[in-house]
Structure 1
């Protein structure tokens, strides 16, 4: 071996080692290109190295021929070299590059580039659910000993047969007993106490006058339930001398004061507003209250109204004690008063004008320790009514849900949540649907998104395409209102606690009256609200407690009617199915592909993945152009993350904020940003909002940021001058130094 061959071989080996250690570039990782570490990689020599010789050039040309024939690159090349190879390759390589670019364009959206995840929870477990009969027999309202006009009013509104809870409760309430009623949602609990109350008030002789004041107070947790209860009383009350009123937060207090001043016999209200009027409205006289009703008591405790309820009861007791002292009766009509009191005490409290007793009625869909403690505080002796036949043998942890409700779940990838919900709403467009979401910001965002970009679609969607990019994404096409058409024959509604009271009342009334519609709501509509023909419940976010699930599902299948409930779960949340099985609730799996077919029709795409991707791109494009909608999306994601991070300890192992992929959840809101970028946007939005200025006349404290101007100190000369002085400033004496 000559010295030239020896040095050449060593140099080649060294060059091979260097190129073998070279890492793939980021661009190489994205395109999926692989590098084969060969001995002779085409790379320029370093600046301090020796220039290439002819042997390297021959080997390089040979490698270029091999790569051009096979159509695949085996090593890293610089951009100039790639351009030269593409020019030499001709039409063959151009065809290959066109196919690869089209393939990369079609798979550029990573919606379906997710790993397959298995469902490891056994969903085939079937057991005996706890079933409560809504109608126990054929007993009718005509069989009860109540006012004949009340029966006629019930028949006008198709109330004929008694439900199980009504059959057991009404006779006990008519007799004046304190009762604790546990019954499932939608079983007719409101009418179970409304009917005997009205019958008792009608039996008072002489008739009640407005100046007799409040006789009954009914406490409910939400404004919607207060309006609904007032409506039920209005259906059976056609008697002009009996006045029913309601007090709700958000209403005009002056109007409510005028109503109370004129005189109301039955007051229905939320705890906060009731207590406000009891303490501050002199026209609200509660010394004659003979019946107190707490409806949806479990919800009242969950919402933190326990202190308000205790305060209301204390005020009722205090006013009753002070009203016992009647000096005129003691001096003038002592004997007749004693006889009248004895005769009145034998009657139920509501049927006597001068009775000092008070009847208490407590109703709840669930029974727990808090309800038991509240019942012991409110009532000394009470009758417990449970509509389950074998209630002593039932575990209190078992949920009671009507057997007329079909309960299902959808297991989706996180990225698929938004378009899967859209597909489900398309499938249920002809029904009346509740969609429960975690926060009010989520409700606002999805309402605006669906109203603008799901209910309305461009006319030429999916028909005219340029490559793989449809005209759906063209700016001029999106902004053209004339080219859009309404594709959903239904109406969207939204309801949450942050809305104005007047708007909430209007939305609730319109949704109840509508034949079909989709209501996006928080849990403010999950308790006690009765919406006729509501046949589908969708839980887009998981409930924070088992009772929340029970009451959400209870919005359908009411009074023996059929309904369906469907909950969205991700693969990380599938343990919730097993938790419900422990409560004797068994869910069936529903395949999301059944609903994605509706997206194919909507987007005019033959394949489900293409249709879903097109809809997701439409939402993302809308967010990039609509700044207000983008802001709503950011706030919706931020509020959802706070909600998800505050699950109670019992549920945190299932809905674990630390183990979820936040980036995928950002995509489920239609956002392209990262979670940290959304957080920065939220901080910027909050920083630009000016703090609310307090009314100086009403505020007890000032703004912290406000810097008060320092007043200049003025020296008073009134204490240092004589009354005979001229008022001029005295001359300053010079200090004479002692010599």
Structure 2
């Protein structure tokens, strides 16, 4: 296997670019993908995030364009199309293509929703050889006649499982149908669900399969811990943990847009440099927020799973699962934001008693070891903060860079009890920063179970008759939705739509049953009418009308 970039015999422009970046050794996915892509075969690569897969397709694709004379007008046509599930990922991929291909004279057009059409049209008219975009905006350009794919030689599907999971299968198939039959197809995905296999059968030519996902295991450089918390003290437990951990860069995941805003506001009020990222933010604001995060002006980014897609920032030290992941794949995707390229990192999970079984199942299925830790209490936090403060004072005292203040300090010490002087200064510090009295005393969940009588245990052992309706939890109302599996509906998509439209958290959603032409969802009874009204009011993000009724 290739062990250095020098062994790839790259064209001089690419070799020079990698040298400027300080890259000498390819990652596993880069080393194994390069000869395959260079040979022209179709490939399906299963690889987790954080492994350098963007460069794994950018390098060989640009290498294959060596024979083209990019200065000739007839070659100023789209040769490479890369499709990504989100704006952020599309922008990231576009930047890598632009930077890597700059010395070759490669022009890149990035076509995403939320951005002005004018700049995109201008980039296409100038003759972009590489187009990177999200499915919805690519379809818009195709329908407008502003994107011609008839000369495309290579198509890349990046994070293909997320493209389908976000409901873009119809758009994706429309785009792929506009491409020439004789093209090279490169598919990269963390998982290979049935929908991916269908795409491969229809649009790829006997693809070579490369599985580098290590059984969907998270990075080995990450440590995992979960804290069992009381549902009524979740925010306070989070504050305590952040004070103890002091993350350099952290992403906190929750389920709804409303939660991102609420948590970011609260964490800012607690003294953390926090901001939120969700689908409602204008593109300009999203870009500024991510830039601030990269520059360490923000240390805590609160985001939904969808909004966090495409965030490629080195140095993320902590992932906080405030909202429990919906499964192993989501857990791996989230974790993959930290521990990149073998760097150390931590994954912190805040687990209520209701989430306990699900979280342990995720950890087990992901083949991970997670340490169960008690929630830190206020006194522990304050003790740690004071220890840090003491260490900072010692360090500054050793440096002795006080100038004229040293003389003034000596004068104070000679005339006033030094302990009283320090106490007064600490009072001022506390009044302005509050850093020495932070921390909350939080509720701790009880591990004791209420005893069940014999009759209750008997009922639990009873099994419903064949064909009977699934049992409904007490306090839940079952709703019938008019779309099901035939409409590419998946449980994760339903949860996201209901939470975003009705402004709920996933805790309000119970069992979900999918059928061919409809779905059944259990909702907390006091939120049922809210869900019915919100879901029936407007179409979803695919323009589909929902008809939600009580079942």
Alignment of 1:183-262 (within 5 A): 183-205=47-69, 207-209=71-73, 212-239=76-103, 241-262=105-126
Asked whether the equivalents of residues 51 and 340 of structure 2 are also in contact (C-alpha less than 8 Å), the reply is yes
| Cα deviation code 1:204-239 (max 9, x no counterpart) | 247454763111110000001011112222332222
Which residue of the partner structure matches residue 527 of structure 1?
309
Please state whether the residue corresponding to 1:534 is helix, strand or coil: coil
Deviation, 1:418, is: 1.1
Alignment of 1:356-395 (within 5 A): 357-387=182-212
Which residue of the partner structure matches residue 498 of structure 1?
280
Deviation, 1:359, is: 0.4
Asked whether the equivalents of residues 246 and 267 of structure 1 are also in contact (C-alpha less than 8 Å), the reply is yes
| Cα deviation code 1:565-587 (max 9, x no counterpart) | 01111112110233121342332
Please state whether the residue corresponding to 2:441 is helix, strand or coil: helix
Which residue of the partner structure matches residue 454 of structure 1?
270
| Cα deviation code 1:467-507 (max 9, x no counterpart) | xxxxxxxxxxxxxxxxxxxxx4xx21210111111111121
Report the Cα distance in structure 1 between the residues aligned to 2:194 and 2:309, rounded to whole angstroms: 19
Q: Indicate whether 1:609 and 2:423 are aligned.
A: no
Aligned counterpart for 1:552 among listed residues 330, 334, 345:
334
Which residue of the partner structure matches residue 241 of structure 2?
424
Asked whether the equivalents of residues 220 and 226 of structure 1 are also in contact (C-alpha less than 8 Å), the reply is yes
Asked whether the equivalents of residues 241 and 376 of structure 2 are also in contact (C-alpha less than 8 Å), the reply is no
| Cα deviation code 1:418-450 (max 9, x no counterpart) | 101112222344510000111111111222233
Which residue of the partner structure matches residue 161 of structure 1?
25
Aligned counterpart for 1:295 among listed residues 133, 158, 173:
158
Deviation, 1:376, is: 1.3
Which runs of 5 or more structure 1 residues have no equivalent in the other structure?
A: 1-136, 321-355, 392-397, 456-487, 613-634, 663-674, 693-739
- Seen in structure 2, the aligned counterparts of structure 1 residues 153 and 588 have a Cα distance that, compared at 3 Å, is same
Alignment of 1:21-420 (within 5 A): 139-205=3-69, 207-209=71-73, 212-239=76-103, 241-280=105-144, 282-316=145-179, 320=180, 357-387=182-212, 398-420=215-237
When Rg is computed on C-alpha atoms for both structures, the one with the higher figure is 1
Structure 2 length-normalised TM: 0.70
- Seen in structure 2, the aligned counterparts of structure 1 residues 199 and 595 have a Cα distance that, compared at 3 Å, is farther
Which residue of the partner structure matches residue 464 of structure 1?
none
Which residue of the partner structure matches residue 289 of structure 2?
507
Q: Indicate whether 1:440 and 2:265 are aligned.
A: no
Deviation, 1:657, is: 6.8
Deviation, 1:196, is: 0.9
Q: How many matched pairs?
A: 425
Indicate the structure with greater strand content.
2
Asked whether the equivalents of residues 80 and 153 of structure 2 are also in contact (C-alpha less than 8 Å), the reply is yes
Report the Cα distance in structure 1 between the residues aligned to 2:91 and 2:501, rounded to whole angstroms: 32
Deviation, 1:510, is: 1.9
Asked whether the equivalents of residues 544 and 648 of structure 1 are also in contact (C-alpha less than 8 Å), the reply is no
Q: CA RMSD in A?
A: 3.3
Report the Cα distance in structure 2 between the residues aligned to 1:158 and 1:595, rounded to whole angstroms: 45
Asked whether the equivalents of residues 210 and 262 of structure 1 are also in contact (C-alpha less than 8 Å), the reply is no
Please state whether the residue corresponding to 2:78 is helix, strand or coil: coil
Please state whether the residue corresponding to 1:408 is helix, strand or coil: strand
Asked whether the equivalents of residues 437 and 520 of structure 1 are also in contact (C-alpha less than 8 Å), the reply is yes
Asked whether the equivalents of residues 240 and 440 of structure 2 are also in contact (C-alpha less than 8 Å), the reply is no
Please state whether the residue corresponding to 1:443 is helix, strand or coil: helix
| Cα deviation code 1:231-266 (max 9, x no counterpart) | 222332222631012001011113212221221110
Asked whether the equivalents of residues 111 and 131 of structure 2 are also in contact (C-alpha less than 8 Å), the reply is yes
Asked whether the equivalents of residues 254 and 305 of structure 2 are also in contact (C-alpha less than 8 Å), the reply is yes
Report the Cα distance in structure 2 between the residues aligned to 1:176 and 1:557, rounded to whole angstroms: 32
Report the Cα distance in structure 1 between the residues aligned to 2:182 and 2:357, rounded to whole angstroms: 50
Report the Cα distance in structure 1 between the residues aligned to 2:523 and 2:226, rounded to whole angstroms: 21
Report the Cα distance in structure 2 between the residues aligned to 1:180 and 1:646, rounded to whole angstroms: 35
Asked whether the equivalents of residues 216 and 332 of structure 2 are also in contact (C-alpha less than 8 Å), the reply is yes
Report the Cα distance in structure 1 between the residues aligned to 2:7 and 2:279, rounded to whole angstroms: 42
Aligned counterpart for 2:369 among listed residues 586, 592, 616:
586
Report the Cα distance in structure 2 between the residues aligned to 1:387 and 1:254, rounded to whole angstroms: 40
Report the Cα distance in structure 1 between the residues aligned to 2:522 and 2:21, rounded to whole angstroms: 48
Which runs of 5 or more structure 2 residues have no equivalent in the other structure?
A: 386-433, 445-498, 515-520, 539-551
- Seen in structure 2, the aligned counterparts of structure 1 residues 606 and 179 have a Cα distance that, compared at 3 Å, is closer
- Seen in structure 2, the aligned counterparts of structure 1 residues 432 and 259 have a Cα distance that, compared at 3 Å, is same
